[in-house]
Amino acid sequence: MSLKIDFSPADSARFGIRVERGSFNAQSPLAEVVDCIAASSADLLIIRVPAGRTDIALALQRAGETVIPADTLVYHGIDLTPESGELSTSVRRATPADRPAIIDIATAGFQGYRSHYSANPLIPPALVLEGYVEWAHSRLQPQDELQSTWVVSDAQAIAGFATCDIKDGVADILLNSVHPRFERRGHYGRLLRHVMRHHAGLGNHRLVISTQIWNYTVQRQWARAGLLIDCAFDTYHIDRRMQRDPMHSLGEGTR
């Protein structure tokens, strides 16, 4: 489907407003995109479009919407073979008992992280961090192999984690982090290579992972593991609170 807007219950509950998310592909007709967004009753629309579709943001601005350029998300991927990655004795499947450690890692790792939410001055940073922490431990309950969380250890301490979903034979690492005090010890690379080998062993044919385009360090890690850039998406916030309240402007708010 080239045009899609869905209600976001998690964002709506966290921020206390109606939030919807939209995705549009390279072939989405411009007029249909504008009409689709105009028909939405959301307070905040978060839309992702293929990088380079600058015509969409311009058309929305001309239609009277307040458009915030929020970020560019880049996807990297690799075709999996039986030789992909490498198992590590320091990496294992996470359990609910690992929840406190994962919360601690997510809190430290995503404090002040510049995601698309950071571009919106009306979104409190503390609520954004809460969202990352909630997301980090969202797959800790017993699940089948379509959802999993992995942890990497440094001696007796859990140093990092990665959450992964599988769809149509593609393993997608949704969120991952190493605690700042355990950085530069090779833990991230071991975690990534282990997840690659595990999913290759399950017969999945591809692994993908994404981040904000400015996050160069982690992309170098992916390149060393053989991942190549697949695609990129520009994220925009359409925050109608700025139109309703003249006190709101792009230069105000807590960041």
143-196, pLDDT tens digit by residue? 677 899 999 999 999 999 999 999 999 999 999 999 999 999 999 999 999 999
Q: Above 70 in pLDDT, residue 29?
A: yes
Q: CA 22, CA 105: separation in Å to the nearest integer?
A: 30
Q: State residue 145's pLDDT score.
A: 76
Helix (H) and strand (E) counts in the chain: 8, 10
**pLDDT band with cut points at 50, 70 and 90 for residue 1:** very low
Q: State residue 251's pLDDT score.
A: 45
**pLDDT band with cut points at 50, 70 and 90 for residue 133:** very high
Tell me the domains of the chain and their CATH numbers.
3-65 (no CATH), 78-232 (3.40.630.30)
* C-alpha radius of gyration, the chain, whole number: 19
What Å distances lie between residue 86 and 65, 68, 81, 101, CA to CA?
A: 49, 41, 11, 24
Q: Name which residue leads in pLDDT, 198 or 26.
A: 198
What Å distances lie between residue 80 and 70, 201, 203, 246, CA to CA?
A: 32, 9, 8, 52
Q: State residue 27's pLDDT score.
A: 86
Q: CA 247, CA 242: separation in Å to the nearest integer?
A: 8
Query: 126 — phi, psi (to 5°)?
Result: -65, -35
Lowest-confidence region among 25-29, 48-52, 85-89, 99-103: 25-29
The residue among 142, 154, 208 whose CA lies nearest residue 183 is 154
Q: What is the pLDDT of residues 80-125, one digit of tens each?
A: 999 999 999 999 999 999 999 999 999 999 999 999 999 999 999 9
Q: How many CB atoms lie within 10 A of CB 122?
A: 20
**pLDDT band with cut points at 50, 70 and 90 for residue 235:** very high
**Separation of first and last alpha carbons in the chain:** 35
